Every structure is written in structure tokens, then in C-alpha cells.
Amino acid sequence: MTLLDCGGRALDLSRTAIMGILNVTPDSFSDGGIFFARDAAVTHALAMVEVGADIIDVGGESTRPGAQAVSVQEELDRVIPVIEAIARAVPVPISIDTSKPEVMRAAIAAGAGFVNDVRALREPDAVEAVAALQVPVCLMHMQGEPRSMQHNPVYTDVVGEVRDFLRERIEACVAAGIPRQRLIVDPGIGFGKTVEHNLELLRRLDELRALGAPILAGLSRKSMIGALLGQPVAQRLHASVALALIAVQNGATMLRVHDVRATREAIRMYEAVYPRTGERI
């Protein structure tokens, strides 16, 4: 799988794909809601594409630790106008970051072509919705729920348990009619994991390649950086890029990031030294 069909727009996986984060929420942990307004969101999407984003991930509900849930209608009101405007403005695929099947359907109708679900299509009707929409989906591992996931995450073998969970979700999706070639997996760094769990997952990320699906890694500005370096969110660029390079070295095919230019330039240098040869899952 080199080109992934995202609702008629191609995502090239022959090189590391950069997913630019576009939060249209008032309570995002990272950008503080500065792209909440539609025009600001579109401007930022255009800027990310200009400096190397291969796909834009639009989210209307924060999944930071302690985040409060929002209604279907509120999420629709946040994301649909933005997706419609971005779809007219940029040539790259658009992803919808949601767990709600109603939002998935409306977002794909508005111009998105990829679903990014932190709950791995476990909400009622979510698997059926994606099967019918015929778009790729990223299945993420999360222990617990955003409001409580960081209270006391416990694993016997974090990598083995994450791998087994993702394998089960892949099989559930295939059984529901979603082709394997449309499935991407994400270990869920920072979602129901301690710093030690996150480091172990990153260290052994290549073990997830046994699942036979491209791996998406989201490490950008994560709290583990703050815990290890004592840095606030606004000062986590260099550590985020370092973690992104480690993720690629250990098997990641896609990176979900806030800082697109810096990450793209670092990956270009990495791939100049270590070229991607042939198809890599």
C-alpha cells in the first residue's frame, strides 16, 4: 500500500506522512482554542499544507486528560463549516478526529476522507458507519476515557496489551467489511499511560508492525515531555521533533504533529540518510 485513497484524495505512504493537527475546540491542551474560529482554522490549515502537511486532522472535541464530553450537535457545529471551507482551499486529504458515527458521516459528506478515532470504532454504529463510508480509519488504543484515563493506568505488558487490543479491533473492522488496506493503527501515546509506558511503547514500536497495518504516532507536545524536561507546552518543539524521529526509526509511517515545518524538515534529513525503499507497513 503506497497510495491510500482518502475519499478521492491520495495520501502517499511511500514516505513518512505528516498529519497536521487542527483543533477547533476552545479547550485544546496545546493551542488553547486559537483556531476555534473558522477563518483562523482555514488559514492555519493552508499554512500547514504549504510547509509540508500531507493530511489535515480536524477535531472538535478535546481528548486531553480531564476533558469534558461535547454533544453531537456541538461537535458538528464546530467541525463541519471548517471541513467544508478547508476542502475548497487545500488539495490534501482531510481527516476527522471523532468517535461519533454521526460526526463521521457528516464530515465525510462535507469533504473529509479519513477517520481518526481515539476509541478505535468502539462506539455503537461506528464500525458500520466507516464500513459504509469506504474511507481509511486510524484505530487508536486508549485505556479508560479522557476524563479519567491518567488517574492510575496499569499494565502487565503495555506493548503486548496494546498490540492485542489493536489486533482485536482490526479483526472486528475486517469482519464488518472494512478492508485491511484501509486500516491504520496508533498505540495511543499519552492515552491511559504513564511516562514509563509511553517510553516502552516508543522503544518497542516496531513490534506493532506485526499487525500488518501502517503505524501512526502522536507525540507532539505531549505531557511526557513536560514530565521529563519540565517544559511548558509552548517549549516542547525540539523534544517533539526528537521523538518523531525515534518513532520513524522504530517503524512509524505517519506522524500527527502540531509543528509541521520543523517535523517535515527533520524527516527529510532522516530519509536522505536512510531512504525508504519499497513498501513499508
* Average pLDDT value for residue range 101-116: 98
Which pLDDT does position 176 carry in this prediction? 98
DSSP, residue by residue, the chain:
--EEEETTEEEE-SSPEEEEEEE--TT-TTTTTTT-SHHHHHHHHHHHHHTT-SEEEEESS--STTPPP--HHHHHHHHHHHHHHHHHH-SS-EEEE-S-HHHHHHHHHHT--EEEETTTT-STTHHHHHHHHT--EEEE--SS-TTTTTS----SSHHHHHHHHHHHHHHHHHHTT--GGGEEEE--TTSS--HHHHHHHHHTGGGGGGGSS-BEE--TT-HHHHHHH---GGG-HHHHHHHHHHHHHTT-SEEEES-HHHHHHHHHHHHHHS---S---
Which cell goes with 59?
477535531
Task: Write the pLDDT tens digit of every residue in 62-80.
Answer: 877 666 789 999 999 999 9
pLDDT grade for 212, boundaries at 50, 70 and 90? very high
Which pLDDT does position 276 carry in this prediction? 79
Task: Assess whether pLDDT exceeds 50 at residue 270.
Answer: yes
Angle at 162 between CA 128 and CA 252, to 5 degrees: 90
Task: Assess whether pLDDT exceeds 90 at residue 113.
Answer: yes
Q: How far, in Å, CA of 271 to CA of 277, rounded? A: 10
Which pLDDT does position 152 carry in this prediction? 77
**Residue spans of alpha helices (H) in 176-230:** 195-203, 223-229
Q: Confirm if 263 and 241 have CB atoms less than 8 A apart.
A: yes
Which pLDDT does position 134 carry in this prediction? 98
Which pLDDT does position 69 carry in this prediction? 82
Q: How far, in Å, CA of 228 to CA of 162, rounded? A: 23
Which cell goes with 211?
499487525
Which pLDDT does position 279 carry in this prediction? 47
* Average pLDDT value for residue range 175-187: 98
Identified catalytic residue from 163, 222, 236, 264 = 222
Q: What percent of the chain has pLDDT over 70?
A: 91
Does the annotation mark 256 as catalytic?
yes
pLDDT grade for 277, boundaries at 50, 70 and 90? low
* Average pLDDT value for residue range 228-235: 95
Identified catalytic residue from 64, 78, 182, 256 = 256
Task: Assess whether pLDDT exceeds 90 at residue 155.
Answer: yes
Task: Assess whether pLDDT exceeds 60 at residue 253.
Answer: yes
Which pLDDT does position 63 carry in this prediction? 77
Among the ranges given (32-41, 107-116, 171-180, 185-194), the one the predictor scored with the smallest mean pLDDT:
32-41
Which pLDDT does position 26 carry in this prediction? 75
* Average pLDDT value for residue range 157-174: 98
* Average pLDDT value for residue range 92-109: 98
Kind and range of the H or E run holding 20: strand 17-23
Q: What is the mean pLDDT of the chain?
A: 92
Which cell goes with 128?
458500520
Task: Assess whether pLDDT exceeds 70 at residue 149.
Answer: no
Helix, strand, coil shares of the chain as percentages rounded to 5?
Answer: 45, 15, 40
* Average pLDDT value for residue range 254-270: 98
Q: How far, in Å, CA of 264 to CA of 92, rounded? A: 15
Which pLDDT does position 281 carry in this prediction? 47
Residue 160 has, within 13 A of its CA and on its CB side, a CA count of 4
Does the annotation mark 100 as catalytic?
no
Which pLDDT does position 272 carry in this prediction? 95
Q: How far, in Å, CA of 97 to CA of 75, rounded? A: 10
Task: Assess whether pLDDT exceeds 80 at residue 192.
Answer: yes
Q: How far, in Å, CA of 236 to CA of 31, rounded? A: 12
* Average pLDDT value for residue range 148-171: 90
Pairing of strands 3-6, 9-12: antiparallel
What domains can you pick out in the chain, each with its CATH number?
A: 3-273 (3.20.20.20)
Q: Chain centroid to CA 184: how far?
A: 10
